[in-house]
Structure 1
Amino acid sequence: MTSPTAPGTPAGEEPQHRHGVGRHSAPGSTAGSHKKRSRVTFTQILGEILLTAGILFFLFAFYESYWTNIASGKAQNEANNQLQNQWDNERVNPRKKITPELGTAFARMYIPAFGSDFQFAIVEGTSDTDLEAGPGHYHDTQLPGEKGNFAVAGHRVGKGAPFNDLGNLRACDAVVVETQNAWNVYRVLPIDSFGEQRRAEAERCLTPEQIERVAHGDYSSISGRYITTPGDVNTISSLPGTDITTAGDEMESVMTMTTCHPQFSNAERMIVHAMLTETIPKNGSGEKPAALEEK
């Protein structure tokens, strides 16, 4: 006697299981696909890492570009107020040499090409704390208006970013430095020009003697703007580009500005050199340089 078969099942055939077909899973069954979906691939891991890195980079950029500006803006305002109070409380004496203390503001700088609202108090020193308040004076270099090299460092991104646009300066653009006793007008030296072209650029803003020195003399190798390495300390020498650190009366009065390059990196340094062309003593007349009105 044969075994009974399930209703509707032809004789001689095995009945199908109620919860599956045969003993093996058919292609596309849930068991096999579940194993494939649960497998984490290298591509997925890499994607997660890149996404996380992107978020962290964005947060860092936001912090550097925006949040630090708030703190530096407050520090700059305090430096400006301290400077103005100092000037108001001390009698102006054009012959008096003022030696600033580290961490204190002693001058203001203006770059008319960046707009009438561009002005920063310059503090003495280039430590991290000093530069958070604004541009900082290299302590061992000369002071504004003196023979030699008045050198200043500043951030390019975040912390107020006073030197963010240094790369936009052109030959003969004015950089005005105000001290307690005087206004000093510096002009950016010719950039990427040589020979007669360099001379022609110098003629637009320098004195006849300065033109000769910049075109063919001891200042002929000094470019108005260039990129160099962080260790190039000769950029702030009394005669830039040399190892001369002692200023002499025969030297011109130069201003040097340094900042990191490129943006969001400190791999290199951007350098800008300018030469003093005008000094206006503060004698109570209220006279200011016409250069402040330049665009």
Structure 2
Amino acid sequence: MATAYPAEPRAPRRSLLRPAIGVFGDLLFTVGVLLALLIVHSLWWTNLVADRHAGLSAERLRHSWSAPTAPPSAAAPPPFDPGEAVGFLHAPALGAGYQVLIKVGADNDTLADGVAGAYTTPYRAAMPWEARGNFALAAHRDGHGAKFHDLDRLKPGDPLVVETRDRWYVYRVDATLPETAKDDIGVIAPVPVGSPYGGPGRYITLTTCTPVYTSLYRMAVWGSLVREEPMDQDRTPPAELR
């Protein structure tokens, strides 16, 4: 009579899955850490670096303004070079003391310094002192200073003030465009497409990415010049900034 031997016990399936689950868990943890570091770099570190660069540039500009010069003439200032500082944008609705350094150029390198950049292409931004045109600016919504992070808080009637060496230019927000395509260049045209303006004037346009923390679309804020005031010796701000 043949002897029956008991079958060998099978190893539990879980013992085979456990190492795989452990490796997968370690991989997820590593990916999570890398994503967290990327977010910290994009939103915190780039803001820190950009604010430092913008602060130093602002100090240099104000120091240059303190140097004595000939009395301002009726002639327009000479053209600014790319990357050159023009002045400051003030927007009381975005917080007490809110100001952004304005430079020429809306390219990535310029905007990475935590400034608002005046477009040079596809339309050249008309400077505030020019007889007509659109002073179109761009700035980052998140990271690199995030100077236009709260741009969606601006509403019709809010003042926007541009400070230059010799004058204050006071604008009033007339309309906002919450969302448009990234390639909608009409919003920064001399007479912005979609704005309430029917002809040439002295306008300002602020643009940034939307929704927040993305770059899927663009938003725009349009304003028109209300008045300009000469700069006195004490650089007394207009009533909108007091």
Superposition TM-score, scaled by structure 1 size: 0.70
- When structure 1 is superposed on structure 2, of 283-292 and 61-70 the one drifting more is 283-292
- When structure 1 is superposed on structure 2, of 95-104 and 281-290 the one drifting more is 281-290
Q: Show the counterpart of 1:95.
A: 74
Secondary structure of the corresponding residue to residue 70 of structure 1: helix
Cα offsets for 1:152-193 (capped at 9, x unmatched):
00001011110000011111111111011110111111xxxx
- The answer to whether 1:177 aligns with 2:162 is yes
1:92/1:39 CA distance change after superposition, 3 Å? farther
1:55 is matched by which residue type in structure 2? V
- The answer to whether 1:38 aligns with 2:21 is no
Taking every aligned residue pair, what percent have the same amino acid on both sides?
29
1:46/1:32 CA distance change after superposition, 3 Å? closer
Offset of 1:229 from its aligned partner?
Answer: 0.8
What does residue range 132-171 of structure 1 map to in structure 2 within 5 Å? 132-133=112-113, 134-139=115-120, 140-146=124-130, 147-171=132-156
Contact 1:92 1:180 in 2 (8 A): no
Contact 1:123 1:137 in 2 (8 A): yes
Name the CA distance, whole Å, in 2 between partners of 1:126 and 1:66: 22
Name the CA distance, whole Å, in 2 between partners of 1:286 and 1:82: 17
RMSD over equivalenced CA pairs, Å: 2.8
Offset of 1:58 from its aligned partner?
Answer: 2.1
1:42/1:91 CA distance change after superposition, 3 Å? farther
Residue 273 of structure 1 is aligned with which of 201, 222, 236? 222
Contact 2:76 2:129 in 1 (8 A): no
Offset of 1:277 from its aligned partner?
Answer: 0.8
Secondary structure of the corresponding residue to residue 258 of structure 1: strand
Secondary structure of the corresponding residue to residue 39 of structure 1: helix
Larger Rg: 1
1:46/1:119 CA distance change after superposition, 3 Å? same
Contact 1:82 1:105 in 2 (8 A): no
Name the CA distance, whole Å, in 2 between partners of 1:224 and 1:144: 20
Residue 84 of structure 1 is aligned with which of 45, 62, 78? 62
Q: Which runs of 5+ in 1 are unaligned?
A: 1-13, 15-21, 190-222, 243-249
1:155 is matched by which residue type in structure 2? H
Offset of 1:233 from its aligned partner?
Answer: 0.7
Q: Which runs of 5+ in 2 are unaligned?
A: none
Superposition TM-score, scaled by structure 2 size: 0.84
